[in-house]
Amino acid sequence: MATFVNSDQRFRFVSLTLSAVFSLGCLPAAGWAETAAPLIVPPPLAEPAPLAEPADPVVPELVEPEPAQTVATAPVSPSVQVSGSIWRSKPGIVFLQTPIGPLSLSSKTTLRDVKSSQKITLWVHGTTTVIDIRERGADKLVHRYVTAMPNFTSPEKQTVALWTPDGEQSFALGGLAAKIAGRSDEQPFTIEVDGTGSVRGLHDVQYDLQVNQIPRTPSSVHLLLNGTVSKLKSNYVFLKTPLGIVTVSGKTGVRNAKVGQEMSVWVQDRHVAIDLYQDGLSTPSRRFLSGPLTYAPEGQSALIMQGPEGTQSIPLSQRPAALSAVKEGLPITVELGRQGELLDVRRVN
């Protein structure tokens, strides 16, 4: 298990293992008046002067309005959204399978009534983690656990404001306020809340997520992490991130990483992007894009891949031999250089 730590590192995903341990408790028109002018009677008009030649009308110059300034919002990192189906459970521990690998939940104080018919979703949004357990058919919330840093909204520390998948919400802590206020400001807490926003309890929960495969079918998976390579062993890269140590398998396509190098991992639906950085530059020295093989509409002159910035077209001077037996829709990995040039194309096994 790895302990979650806050970080402001730059963001930049694929087969990886991450785990975290945390204690569950709860984290956070102008008026106007109308006046009438007095009526003034004008004096009598004098004899009119001779009319002068009319001057050319002055046409005001049209000025194009300046376009509204839009401020780009940086993506939240770390950021995770992944759902799984339960394949085994017992009181206090639940094992699930997700599109990117196995997910397990454990607790000494809750998770006693989880059923195989239920769906579990894990969210990570910066320093906040949310675990939802819902009835699959009716999409009815059964349990919601929110873990975050203290963000009190009143001097009495009776309420906290926390991020949730439904937006930021305020929660009244009730009888748990004293317990939570007595913790260190640097210590996260987890609370269970119900569908009405009422706090139901303070718990202990752990989870472990292994991301070790590219999603083979469309899904709502999302992941965004950045960190620094801390160790290399066998066919794995150990990435130190705000969520702890993430193990990235070489099967994802990443190659030639070095200890101390910055690295980012991004997953969206069926697409994965892993970036390696050198010398503090903002442009990756290597980018590995994985996803379903898709050619440009006009033929096989270019590959169409997806990355954090959107759709990317990669020109092909000729069809790579590695793709000769690969059907469209099957996963591949494309390796790009610093200038975006194509270095290699490989099939994902």
**pLDDT tens for each residue of 9-35:** 343 333 334 344 333 333 333 333 333
> Is 50 exceeded by the pLDDT of residue 308?
yes
The Cα 152–Cα 173 span in angstroms is 10
Backbone angles phi, psi at 303, to 5 degrees: -95, 140
What pLDDT score was predicted for residue 198?
Answer: 95
- For residue 317, name the pLDDT band (cuts at 50, 70, 90): confident
**How far is it, in rounded angstroms, from Cα 349 to Cα 345?**
13
Is there a contact between 211 and 100 (Cβ–Cβ < 8 Å)?
yes
- Whether residue 314 is contained in a domain is answered as no
| 150 and 180 Cβ atoms separated by less than 8 Å | yes
Task: Kindly state whether residue 159 falls inside one of the protein's structural domains.
Answer: yes
Whole-number pLDDT of residue 282: 85
Quick check: 51 pLDDT over 80?
no
Res. 190 pLDDT band, cuts 50 70 90? very high
Condensed to tens digits (0 to 9), the pLDDT of residues 91-135 reads 999 999 999 888 899 999 999 999 988 999 999 999 999 999 999
Q: Is residue 48 part of a domain?
A: no
Predicted confidence (pLDDT) at residue 63 exceeds the cutoff of 50: yes
Q: Is 325 part of any domain?
A: no
63 assigned to some structural domain: no
Among residues 24, 12, 79, which one has the least CA distance to residue 243? 79
pTM: 0.76
Per mean pLDDT, which range of 81-95, 220-234, 236-250, 251-265 is the poorest? 236-250
Q: Which two tokens stand for residue 190?
A: 């987890």
pLDDT in tens, 124-178: 999 999 999 999 888 899 999 999 998 999 899 999 999 999 999 999 999 999 9
Report the pLDDT averaged over residues 34-56: 43
Query: Does 59 fall in a domain?
Result: no
The torsion defined by the Cα of 105, 109, 114 and 119, in degrees rounded to 10, comes to: -50
Range of the domain at 208: 1-27+75-269
Handedness of CA 244, 250, 252, 256 (dihedral sign): positive
Domain count, the chain: 1
| Between 349 and 273, the higher pLDDT residue | 273
Whether 40 shows a pLDDT value over 60: the answer reads no
Name the token pair of 111: 């998770």
